[in-house]
A and B are shown apart, each in its own frame.
Chain A
């Protein structure tokens, strides 16, 4: 009897009864394995409890057991949509620890690769926002051009997605001639494609109605939640690591930081869209600065730079250095260093603690996704279920980076 009374009283206290909906972890609309237990009032979300960790791979623990050169491989798999940025972020962290200064040409080459990776990242995010509003055309159309970027990566390093591009101290080899031709071709043709992609969505009435006002966040709140990158800029704050703490000679380039106003899905889409244009302009500037005939592709630091294979087989010294580096017998200074790069999703930081051993003593990744995804319940409270999906895809939450 008393139990029955309790139930009755509970119902009275809470006039509305909410439906519990389990979204994920294998839900097709969530683009990855994110689980959210939603409290639904009809079509309106009242509360959400996210669960993460479904692909926790223990990067930080693994990094404590790997020599420095082998950690580049792990960083590939953080934000796998733009792995070259992660690779180079890690390499620059180690270079900072070792006090290695790179030649300008190499730094500019890195900028070209990083900006290409940024375009590749934003292509995925923006085209998937299009898919979630029901426009598959843009996705199939622009994805062909992502393949072109892959081809460029492939010609440089041999891999498409998980690139492991570059080495500590520069690039692994001189870029082949066809890479230059491919980048030129990309710069010439891609603007037209991007424009077409934009005209498909940007002023599309349906797209605008779906996205404007969905999942907004105020700039103050975004800062408290640790937002960085395009999501913070969409909220109206012009924080960009490339400008505030320039790395890899970003200070040589002139580019704008696009910002939004409302911090909603549409603004995030627009910020990414404009960033692609800025990236194109940066690549163009860099291509003008780079002397294509110059043979320099790495810093002159034989202690740390893994020598090219043909040298290893023919040169005694190179063989010794190769052996030392591969076995992790480098002279690593003791110290703590933090280095941040502007990844596809925001400030990707590497906090590295070295005790002079062959592996890092502690390596902590500041993963932008992990930090801003915790604001997701707040963003979707009070919105429709379909907007929640849209908010997630526009935030560009990448499972690999989220769960590390």
Chain B
């Protein structure tokens, strides 16, 4: 099976959405198809349960956590941060994506390390980059950066460049 056609993606979207709506009802906030991926936006409080549900239900069987990452939208008030989870049903080769929004004031979400051990370092990375607090994570410390830094570098308001450089004169670059 090559890349899914829009019709196939829609069919997959409808199939999963029906199962999710049957179980969680209003918790599924919205859904759409983005390229060859069905995407479901889920309330953050039930994110963990949704992932358990799609993993454990035999008819769905999304047993493989492909990847997950956090995002920062500073302009969306109340939904400043988001988490993306991407799951894969390998035997039937179906992939879906979940997205959930988190407010900056209460930047926390339940960990999924109890579902997939692979999520351990991925969550630590997102904590390191964005400061997302994963509740119940066994060892939530920085992973890539030094432990003593105080900022979260992937947030949009953090500057990329190394602040200690003095040989870069902006007037030379026309900035």
Contact A351 B67 (CB under 8 A): yes
Residues in A whose Cβ lies below 8 Å from that of B19:
none
Contact B71 A362 (CB under 8 A): yes
Contact B86 A351 (CB under 8 A): yes
Contact A349 B66 (CB under 8 A): yes
A350 nearest in chain B by CB position: B67
Chain A, range 354-374, C-beta contacts under 8 Å to B: 361-362, 364, 366, 370-371, 373-374
Contact with A along B107-142 (1 / 0, CB 8 A): 000000000111011100100010000000000001
Residues in A whose Cβ lies below 8 Å from that of B39:
336
Contact B63 A351 (CB under 8 A): no
Does residue A103 face the partner (Cβ distance < 8 Å to B)? no
Contact A239 B90 (CB under 8 A): yes
Given A224-B117, A251-B2, A351-B86, does the pair A52, B64 have CB atoms closer than 8 Å? Answer: no
Contact A370 B145 (CB under 8 A): no
Partner of B34, one of A62, A251, A335: A335
Does residue A204 face the partner (Cβ distance < 8 Å to B)? no
Does residue B46 face the partner (Cβ distance < 8 Å to A)? no
Task: State in angstroms the CA–CA spacing of A189 and B122 once bound together.
Answer: 43
B161 nearest in chain A by CB position: A65
Does residue A56 face the partner (Cβ distance < 8 Å to B)? yes
A362 nearest in chain B by CB position: B71
Residues in A whose Cβ lies below 8 Å from that of B145:
53, 56
Contact A224 B118 (CB under 8 A): yes
Chain A, range 237-292, C-beta contacts under 8 Å to B: 237, 239, 244-247, 251
Contact with A along B51-93 (1 / 0, CB 8 A): 0000000000001111101011000000000001010001001
Residues in B whose Cβ lies below 8 Å from that of A347:
66
Residues in B whose Cβ lies below 8 Å from that of A56:
144-145
Does residue A341 face the partner (Cβ distance < 8 Å to B)? no
Given A244-B1, A335-B35, does the pair A374, B86 have CB atoms closer than 8 Å? Answer: no
Contact B117 A246 (CB under 8 A): no
Contact A362 B69 (CB under 8 A): yes
A363 nearest in chain B by CB position: B69
Task: State in angstroms the CA–CA spacing of A370 and B123 once bound together.
Answer: 12
Task: State in angstroms the CA–CA spacing of A60 and B130 once bound together.
Answer: 12
Does residue A404 face the partner (Cβ distance < 8 Å to B)? yes
Partner of A61, one of B37, B71, B143, B153: B153
Contact A60 B154 (CB under 8 A): yes
B155 nearest in chain A by CB position: A61
Partner of A96, one of B35, B65, B86, B144: B35
Contact A374 B144 (CB under 8 A): no
Does residue A382 face the partner (Cβ distance < 8 Å to B)? no
Given A335-B35, A351-B69, A404-B144, does the pair A223, B160 have CB atoms closer than 8 Å? Answer: no
A223 nearest in chain B by CB position: B64
Does residue B3 face the partner (Cβ distance < 8 Å to A)? yes
Does residue A337 face the partner (Cβ distance < 8 Å to B)? yes
Residues in B whose Cβ lies below 8 Å from that of A340:
66
Task: State in angstroms the CA–CA spacing of A373 and B143 once bound together.
Answer: 13
Residues in A whose Cβ lies below 8 Å from that of B90:
223, 237, 239, 244
Task: State in angstroms the CA–CA spacing of A403 and B145 once bound together.
Answer: 10
Does residue A139 face the partner (Cβ distance < 8 Å to B)? no
Task: State in angstroms the CA–CA spacing of A56 and B125 once bound together.
Answer: 11
Contact B71 A226 (CB under 8 A): no
Chain B, range 135-175, C-beta contacts under 8 Å to A: 142-146, 153-154, 158, 160
Q: How far is the CB of A385 from chain B (nearest CB, A)?
A: 23
Residues in A whose Cβ lies below 8 Å from that of B118:
224-226, 371, 374
Contact A374 B97 (CB under 8 A): no
Residues in B whose Cβ lies below 8 Å from that of A247:
3
Q: How far is the CB of B34 from chain A (nearest CB, A)?
A: 5
Contact B34 A245 (CB under 8 A): no
* Most chain A CB neighbours (cut-off 10 Å) among B69, B93, B116: B69
Contact A244 B93 (CB under 8 A): yes
Residues in B whose Cβ lies below 8 Å from that of A7:
none
B72 nearest in chain A by CB position: A362
Partner of A226, one of B116, B142, B160: B116
Contact B34 A371 (CB under 8 A): no
Q: How far is the CB of B37 from chain A (nearest CB, A)?
A: 6
Contact B117 A225 (CB under 8 A): yes
13 contacts between A and B (CB under 8 A): A52-B143, A52-B144, A53-B142, A53-B146, A226-B64, A251-B2, A336-B34, A337-B35, A338-B35, A340-B66, A349-B86, A370-B122, A371-B122
Binding site for B on A (CB under 8 A): 52-53, 56, 58, 60-62, 64-65, 96-97, 223-226, 237, 239, 244-247, 251, 335-338, 340, 347, 349, 351, 353, 361-362, 364, 366, 370-371, 373-375, 403-404
Given contacts A349-B86, A364-B67, A375-B117, 9 further A-B contacts (CB under 8 A): A52-B143, A60-B154, A97-B35, A226-B64, A336-B35, A347-B66, A361-B71, A364-B69, A373-B121
Closest 5 CB pairs of A and B: A226-B118, A53-B144, A364-B69, A366-B67, A56-B144
